[in-house]
Amino acid sequence: MGKTTTAINLAANLAQAGERVLLIDMDSQANATHGLGVRTLRGEPTVLEVLLGEKPLASILRSSSVPRLDVAPSSPDMAGSSVLLPNLDRREYRLKEAVAEMADTRGRYDYVFIDCPPSLGLLTVNSLVAADQVIIPVQTEYYALEGLAQLIATVFAVRERLNPSLKVAGLVLTMMDPRTTLARQVEQEIRSHFPNLSFKTVIPRNVRLAEAPSHGLPVSLLDPHCAGSDAYFDLAMEVVSHG
């Protein structure tokens, strides 16, 4: 948990710092799309049409509520990908090839974020194949550690078979309530298991982070001085300095 919140708020911080940023929404829940104030009407093209090869990526991009931050939108239609994608050629490379085809992606955007769906299916595999780096939010709860092992196994499998250059940028502890012993124990466990792979910044549990998407805004535009805004600003600085 915390993937979409992290994708939206990192992307927004970098755009507010003057970078040109694209966020690709790979989840049929479309939380990142809506959370950045983008609405898709029925029949409007989404990332699904791009994955199916029916539209170029450049043709579906939308401006978001944040200047310099564009969104490649999703919609509930994306759920159809689970039926349609498995039958296609090079089904794991569809997103990577669409991004590469947008010849000027690297010139046009300084950063491209991809928001993954909850399941580890083909949409997540496409995302990991297209990415240079993966940022993994980890909720400070014990059950999160089990999901983490499975996710790390998927990342390693993709790296071995499909994208040798994929790097784990780091784990981000999120929804932290420092008052609970459990959260502190989970933090200690993560930091001792992954000493070089954990971002220093911890994202606190903060109600403004949960409220911001219903306004179609990143937290930095809703409430620039709350604890959630400060934390995502610090995380963005860490991400930039890691390169």
- Residues of this chain that interact with ligand ATP (CB under 6 A) are 1-5, 27, 29, 31, 118, 174-175, 203, 205-206, 209-210, 213
- Near Mg ion in 29-68, by CB under 5 A: 31
Is the CB of 85 or the CB of 114 nearer to Mg ion?
114
2-21 residues near Mg ion, rule: CB under 5 A? 3-4
Q: Which residue from 222, 177, 187 is spatially nearest to 8, judged by alpha carbons?
A: 222
CA nearest neighbour of 232 among 185, 172, 182, 144: 172
Q: Of ligand ATP, Mg ion, none, which one does residue 120 interact with (CB within 5 to 8 Å by kind)?
A: none
Q: How far apart are CA 239 and CA 156, in angstroms?
A: 21
Is residue 97 exposed (0-12), middle (13-18) or buried (19+ Cβ within 10 Å)? middle
Provide the minimum distance between the beta carbon of 115 and ligand ATP in the complex, in angstroms, as a whole number.
Answer: 7
Q: How far is the CB of 211 from Mg ion (least distance, A)?
A: 16
The minimum distance between CB 57 and ligand ATP, in angstroms, equals 21
Question: 124 vs 229, which CB is nearer to Mg ion?
Answer: 124
Per-position DSSP letters for 178-229, written without gaps between them: TTSHHHHHHHHHHHHHSTTSB-S--PBP-HHHHHGGGGTS-HHHH-TTSHHH
Cα 108 from Cα 228, distance rounded (Å): 29
Shortest distance, position 3 Cβ to Mg ion, whole Å: 5
CA dist 13 and 21 (Å) reads 10
Q: Say if CB 57 and CB 209 are below 8 A apart.
A: no
Task: Kindly tell me which of 102 and 236 has the beta carbon lying closer to ligand ATP.
Answer: 236
* DSSP 3-state of 70: strand
Of 96, 82, 205, nearest to 140 by C-alpha is: 205
Name the minimum Å distance from CB 223 to ligand ATP: 13
Closer CB to ligand ATP, 22 or 123, in the complex: 123
Nearer to ligand ATP among residue 4 and residue 102 (C-beta): 4
Site membership for Mg ion, residue 124 (CB under 5 A): no
| Nearest CB to Mg ion, comparing residues 35 and 102 | 35
The footprint of Mg ion (CB under 5 A) covers 3-4, 31
